[in-house]
Amino acid sequence: MKIATTIAEVRAQVAAWKKEGLRIGLVPTMGYLHEGHASLVDEAVRQCDRVVASVFVNPTQFSPNEDLDAYPRDFSRDCTLLESHGCHLVFHPEVEEMYLPGAATYVEILSEMPKQLCGKTRPIHFRGVCTVVSKLFNIVTPDKAFFGQKDAQQLAILRQMVRDLSYGIQLVGCPIVREEDGLAKSSRNTYLNAEERQAALVLSQAVFLGQKMVEEGERDTAKIVAAMTDHIAAQPLARIDYVSAVDGITMEPVSSIQGTVLVAMAVYIGKTRLIDNFIVEDV
Ligand code: AMP
């Protein structure tokens, strides 16, 4: 596995691979990798000939009050995981390599989509995500890019961006990978102390509760959201940011389960903000 820190190195390697007619897969990450990230690499290895993973904590998607400086980092452990899953190239740039002095161009979706759900409390987040993913697409020029359903709003927004900006790149969504007890794997789980780690189970429990209600025939999203909210609110260490049911493509709120519906939540456990969700395909 090769490690590149500059855009020029990535471009040279990708050009050589493309000359051989190889298909390139990209897995963008912020590092401190776990089995959720590994599942994206596994899928990329299955679908592509060469896999590029980026490890970059992107400053433009963090607001000043967020955890940019505290965000966990362990690049050598990341490399061990990536190599063991068959990744071919890791792109690990410094901030200065990605954002030149005076950089002033952003990619921003101007619909309501990035203002829903996480956008309500993280107003610049998706502008930062779209900008950095757009840059990674321009640097790596992959055939396919792999993203987790855990960040369902991010994936929906990136699908819109790819369509609007005519990126000839196929986005592949991969299922949420969970700990054995249900908690969705996240780099931010490392912030949790033992008591908080236990309390954090209310997120996945609420997901399973909501899914069960849908399976049993409930179609009223207000009832589903209310039951999930009650379950989370009973945990004293939990503070709800949102629990919402939205259209799976537009992210607009919906009142009944029809078409593709995303039921998503963000919940603070102590100071740590965690997300989880499930998608219902009602056909
Ligand atoms: P991050 O490093 O948190 O920016 O995540 C990088 C990619 O990994 C994103 O596409 C995430 O959706 C995905 N990802 C993170 N956690 C999980 C998980 N538990 N299961 C599946 N994908 C995940």
pLDDT tens across 219-242, in order? 999 999 999 999 999 999 999 999
Distance of alpha carbon 170 from alpha carbon 272, whole angstroms: 33
Cα Dmax for the chain: 58
Q: What residues act catalytically?
A: 37
pLDDT computed for residue 104 by the predictor: 97
Average pLDDT value for residue range 148-174? 98
- Strands of 24-29's sheet, edge to edge? 2-4, 89-91, 50-55, 24-29, 144-148, 170-174
pLDDT computed for residue 8 by the predictor: 98
The closest alpha carbon to 44, from 23, 29, 30, belongs to 23
pLDDT computed for residue 167 by the predictor: 98
User: Tokens 């069960």 sit at which residue?
Assistant: 212
| Residue 178 CB partners (closer than 8 Å, separation 6+) | 184, 185, 204
Res. 213: pLDDT tops 90:
yes
Q: Best substitution site from 57, 68, 71, 151 to test ligand 1's pocket, by max atoms within 8 Å of Cβ?
A: 151
Res. 283: pLDDT tops 80:
no
pLDDT computed for residue 282 by the predictor: 78
Query: What value does the mean pLDDT of the chain take?
Result: 98
What lines the ligand 1 site, CB under 6 Å? 29-30, 36-37, 39-40, 147-148, 150-151, 174, 176-177, 184-187
Distance in Å, CA 190 to ligand 1 centroid: 14
pLDDT digits (tens, 9 = 90+) for 249-263: 999 999 999 999 999
